[in-house]
Structure 1
């Protein structure tokens, strides 16, 4: 598989490092409109072909697949011409800024008949995959209640950098710079974590969003700090279960933690993922009588990068697909509407 990288910002490094370890994958080029960034990136990873526009790369055309690591608002305009050219695409999340654009990308990919995946990175968590298997196999019975959270603390900690002075964080706080806040940035991750782990889709949503004061006049330089910092969401799942989902960048003491609790009529499961590792615990069988939780050991699973490469090389399809990501984007879009209208909406 001959692969090019579109967008050479921070996340591109992770993509290249993962793909470089996969047998049969050759990284043959990179695209970025910033010449300095492009040169530094390609020099670091010894990438020969360098393009300052996507049109240049498409005119060259000697590649099979693309990993699209451009900023959120660039996913739509960069992915569509790639699909039209018949290229397989792994796109960073979210697929697009809104459901309308995400659906257009989905339908274009399906018409083109190419492999299309979205890098919802927490699908790489083996414990989440195992929890889903256990739910599907009926080990905890019918799921009744789901609780999911995504907690970050970079608004109260400098562990990842200083949001007050660094553009890579400030843009995430500004709607004018393409951010939909914590809902758009990590909301898609925790919704996927919850729905995938519980093996059921979300079909009703009601959300509350909150933007907290952070600076004088709520502005730092060119950035107006108006994007939401926290959200809480009540959801109904297609299987009848009730769910509570929330996320915040103000979660002191939690650098980057996802947690999922799935409660069924015969048992419960808890998945925790943080920089320190991942864990799956279960309260099953006779242990439900004593509320005893035990760690469940789980073997590694293929990463999204490995599954994308396998899909391209074998001609198979893999999840999470563009359509799945578009469906999640619809939930996010409706969540914004429910905040404004203060009412539940059907997905």
Structure 2
């Protein structure tokens, strides 16, 4: 499979590394508006063909599929061009800046019969995949309560660098620079982690967003620090289960940790994933009486990159699809409105 990488920023490096490890995948081209950047990237991964526009790459046309690793706002126009050209696309998250555009992308891909996936990277976590399989197999009974968190500490720790002086962090704190805060940055990840792991759709959302003062006048240079730092959500799931999901950049002691707890009427499951490892625990059967948790072996699972390659080769759609990412984007959009109105909102229209 001949792959084109669209966008050559830091996340594109991960795509190049991952796809290079897959047998039969050839990195044949790269696209970036910045000639120096695309040349440096292409030299690093021995990519022979370099382009400064997607139009030029499409005119060349000697590629089979595309990894779209452009900035968020560029996902929609570039992916629509690729779909029109009949090219399968693995797009970075979020699929688009809002539900309307994400839905347009999903509609177009489905109507054209094009293989489409979104790189929700935590699908690569084996404990999450086994947790979902256990839920679907009925091992913990009917899910009643779901708790999920995405915790980061870069506002209080310099492990990733000092956000006060580094534009790559400062822009994430500024709505004027295109950020929707922690909700826009990791919200789609933790919503997917929770709903996919629990094997449930989200029916209602009530959200609170909060930005805290971080500098004099809450501004550093050109950056107004007004994007949300933390959010909490109360969710109703499709089977009537209740959920609590939250995320924060103020979580001292947690560099980058996702946690999911799923409680059913016959048992419970916990998944923890951080920079160093992943773990799956369960409390079921006789262990329920004394609240004893057992660590389970989750095995290994193929990455999104491998599953995208398999989907293109076999011409069989795989998850997470554009449609799935669009539905998560709808929840994120409604979360913002919910905070503004202080109201619970339904994710799907009532039918009569």
Residue of structure 1 equivalent to 2:169: 169
Partner of 1:187: 187
Alignment of 1:1-347 (within 5 A): 1-347=1-347
C-alpha deviation, 1:269, in angstroms: 0.2
2:250 and 2:172 map into 1 onto residues whose CA distance is 14
The structural deviation recorded for 1:252 is 0.6
- Which stretch of the first structure deviates more once superposed, 28-37 or 254-263? 28-37
Contact 1:188-1:328 within 8 A present in 2 as well: yes
CA RMSD of aligned residues (A): 0.8
Question: What's the CA shift for 1:217?
Answer: 2.2
Q: Deviations over 1:31-88 (max 9, x none)?
A: 0111221111111111111011111111111111110111111111111101110000
1:149-193 CA-partner distances (Å, limit 9, x unpaired): 000011111111221122211121111222111001101000000
Q: Give SS of 1:298's match.
A: coil
Provide the C-alpha distance between the structure 2 equivalents of 1:188 and 1:95, rounded to a whole number of angstroms: 10
Distance 1:171 1:73 in 2: 14
CA deviation profile, 1:248-275 (whole Å, cap 9, x unmatched): 0110110000000000001000000001
Instruction: Name the SS of the counterpart of 1:186 in structure 2.
Output: helix
Gaps of 5+ in 2: 348-352
TM-score for both structures, normalised by structure 1: 0.99
How far, CA to CA, are the matches of 2:192 and 2:108 in structure 1? 23
8 Å CA contact retained: 1:72, 1:178: no
SS in 1 for 2:16: helix
Q: Secondary structure at the match of 2:83?
A: helix
The number of residues matched between the two structures is 347
Q: Which residue of 1 aligns with 2:350?
A: none
Task: Give the unaligned 5+ runs of structure 1.
Answer: none
Q: TM-score, normalised by structure 2?
A: 0.97
1: CA distance, partners of 2:255 / 2:50: 35
